[in-house]
Chains A and B, each alone.
Chain A
């Protein structure tokens, strides 16, 4: 009996019937490489990424066209009057994009993290309602939120807040809080309560326990959500467009939208490329921070608890 228990499982490879030759054999062979699926996958990835690569390349086009290559040039980046660097409106828009995304991240992530921590431990009717509203803000299409916020700022809050950067910020944060909540909650689910309880047993007050035990455990998730919020806020153009006021409050995404509908030059490609770079930087930083903190926690174990 023990022998059968200890005997290695017979390898499926050794046991399979030898496959018949020919095309029918190939079709019936369950271990064959799925060429069709692979082709489709690579085809999809090409369809997904290559247009963007082409758009980036065409931002260096010497001519005006977006579809016929006329040589390499930096004119749409720095040289021309309408170029990304020299056109004051585009430059201002770049600054506005980064400003909005950064501020949104700084406001939405703390609020979202706090909410996630609170809602994870709090039970009850109000808690589930609050959670429901939070998730609702995540799934509702942006045009609905955009129009609703526009009406709010035009009428309810018209004396408090004018359309423009402040309004855009307020609108963006309402949407981004849910991103942070979702990411942090996912992490919270896997953490569990033992660490805090251990901390409390060692004499920590509740606030201490959260601050010095729970939060460090959440650093990976916090950084991940900061990166996601930044990348998402910098790309937003629906809510931001409805809430924009003077020209200086239009971020690059809105300018790209306006230009793409009228007479796009490769300067638009250049603008979009620079936004892509900004998002990429944010994502990479977030990823690196995530790995750093996650690895640190695996390595150090729960040494935070020794503080008590």
Chain B
């Protein structure tokens, strides 16, 4: 019976000695690590990017300031006339669900190779970190244009040898031939073009109401619980800036950012907003969202996610009439240190081939900027439903559109701070 006698023992507080004894194991470590490290000077003074003078680390490209990306001697392009590598696996480093696997299988068959597709959730958080730390070995990568300066300055890409990519001059839009962010196509090949607007359900919101409210509709309390923005700090904050009429979506003005932040926080408080990546193409068709920030390609792709029996005319896409809204394009690059550079070049060429680019478009909804793709024919050919004609991107749109450009690290930090507060739901 003794062992069941209730013991009303009070838990004695940790005596300091007991606590230290227990943590002694952990605290003994720093001295070892310190010994391990070379007794050098202050690491802060020896790190990269310091003592370089106070010049810019990379040039900021914009439509008014076209930039020729730097070429480094120690990262040369591959030579002409090489044969594609045999027996290797082409490593693709991409967003998820952005390429049709059937098209990729065609590539495999054509060049007698295999591919492996590694995904990342964001460039700012994941891809940039892993690539610059050398933690990901890949052949082809899909940066957005706001990373080109940084990544070419740190020698992450290799210059392209255009002899392997004849489709570039042959197929791509002439107005796209010398883009401001990469004059001469030294490193990049365009992948898709898109605008960022608002996707909406036409069975709950009329076209007139949408056109009347524009960006404001995301703040309309009638639709609380049914609104969404992208889980991407540049896109979401630009949305808030544009709502306030601020068209500089690369601004470093703290006052503008504060206004945007206040609006975003209001979304959290009154609108039950959710930040997603798939909200536009996957969940809006399922009626989970009624309005969602949307890339044009997402809305076109949404038609394939509609449940059975729901007609495609419930999908709508709004973009400002005057064309002053975000526009952009994704690019493809070959990474420095690629194991299969020739195959990588051929892959780039393959993806802007008329036939395969069109097939890919038929699956993910994102337009490639190819001359063979006449925007006026897309509806007739059944790629885009009639009600989504605003989601079609035309060459002229690039004139008035706003690009998400690269910014300095200081500006980036300001934007990140706004995003911190939004995501913490303060």
Contact = CB atoms under 8 A, between A and B. Distances in A.
A touching B, CB within 8 angstroms: yes
Interface of A: 63-65, 81, 89, 125, 128-130, 132-133, 154, 158, 162-163, 245-248, 258, 262-263
Contacts of B351: none
B116 A125 contact: no
B282 A132 contact: no
Contact of A247 (B97, B101, B118): B118
B21 A247 contact: no
A65 B116 CA distance: 29
B136 interface: yes
Contacts of B117: 89, 247
Interface residues on chain B, size class? 20 to 34
B278 A263 contact: yes
B22 interface: yes
Given A154-B135, A258-B96, A262-B96, A125 B21 contact: yes
11 contacts: A125-B21, A129-B21, A129-B24, A129-B25, A133-B25, A158-B133, A158-B135, A245-B118, A245-B136, A258-B121, A262-B282
Nearest to A258: B96
For the residues of B in contact with A, the DSSP-based class is mixed
B25 A64 contact: no
A128 B19 CA distance: 12
A275 B307 CA distance: 28
Interface of B: 21-22, 24-26, 91, 96-97, 101, 116-119, 121, 130, 133-137, 277-278, 282-283, 305, 307-308
Contacts, number: 52
Contacts of B91: 246
B116 A247 contact: yes
A246 B91 CA distance: 9
Given A129-B21, A130-B25, A247 B119 contact: yes
A64 B25 CA distance: 53
A84 to B, nearest CB: 16
A132 B118 contact: no
B21 A128 contact: yes
A239 B136 CA distance: 18
Contacts of B26: 133
Contacts of A133: 25-26
A132 B24 CA distance: 10
Contacts of A64: 307
The 3 closest A-B pairs by CB, nearest first: A263-B282, A247-B118, A129-B25
Contact of A263 (B119, B133, B135, B305): B305
A262 B130 CA distance: 22
B308 A63 contact: yes
Contacts of A258: 96, 119, 121
Interface centre among A63, A128, A262 (most CB of B within 10 A): A262
A154 B121 CA distance: 18
Nearest to A155: B133
Contacts of B101: 81
Nearest to B117: A247
A69 B26 CA distance: 54
A81 B278 CA distance: 20
A248 B278 CA distance: 23
B116 A163 contact: no
A133 B23 CA distance: 8
A163 B21 contact: no
Nearest to B282: A263
A93 to B, nearest CB: 12
Contacts of A130: 25
Contact of A154 (B24, B133, B305): B133
A246 B22 contact: no
Contacts of A263: 97, 278, 282-283, 305
Contacts of B116: 246-248
Given A129-B22, A129-B24, A246-B118, A262 B136 contact: no
Contacts of B137: 246
Contacts of B307: 63-65
Contacts of B21: 125, 128-129
A81 B102 CA distance: 10
Contact of A262 (B25, B133, B278): B278
A115 to B, nearest CB: 14
Nearest to A164: B135
B25 A162 contact: no
B369 to A, nearest CB: 27
